[in-house]
Amino acid sequence: MLKYQKIIKPKSKVMRTKSTLEKAVKFVTNCKFIFSFKKNIFQKNIFPILFCLIPALTSAQSGSCNAKLEVEKNRIYNSAGKDGAYFTLVLTNDGNSSDVYNLSALNINGNCANNDQSNTSENVNLMGSFLDNNNAPITSLTVSSHQTASFSIHLIVPQGTAFNKWNCTQINATSTNCSSYTVNTVVHTIVNNPSEN
């Protein structure tokens, strides 16, 4: 009986191995067919589709991100006393969809011209904060498509700032729909001596 069992065991192992090998060959053959089929689809159909979609997406994105930022009534010059200076700004969304714009202010004293043609190397830095029409602090602004929204920047004079010096501040509005799209404008402020007022 031991001889019989020994003979059957090798046959069953051979049968299992052959069966497993056949299944593996069939699996590999099926995989080759599937991947060659996908390769043909990508080569023949996807690239023309992508070629058409990329310009369409680029065009759609450029149309959806189009804005303008201006100082109200073009009043880009102001003087700052002890309460600082305020500028009213107007943001127009000429894009095809509503957008949220993140607001920021940057001192750009080295890259501007002072109203009295004085040297910008003596310009001073001011701190800016944004306010909505109810004088509540904001950091962003939502503007519907083809609509306009106004807001203010409050430029604060830090303690110890030299008087009778200019500041140039660039106000930026960066789209959240198109993160690399920013519109900006520049305002000019002279810091007055409060004792002279």
The secondary structure of residue 170, as a DSSP letter, is E
Output the pLDDT for position 14. 42
Output the pLDDT for position 59. 41
Output the pLDDT for position 9. 44
Output the pLDDT for position 179. 85
CB 91 within 8 A of CB 68: yes
* pTM of the full structure: 0.69
Output the pLDDT for position 2. 47
Output the pLDDT for position 150. 98
- What's the average pLDDT block by block, 10 residues per block, for the chain (197 residues)? 46 46 63 56 50 44 81 97 96 96 97 94 97 98 97 97 97 95 98 83
**In the Cβ-directed half-sphere of 115, how many Cα atoms lie within 13 Å?**
16
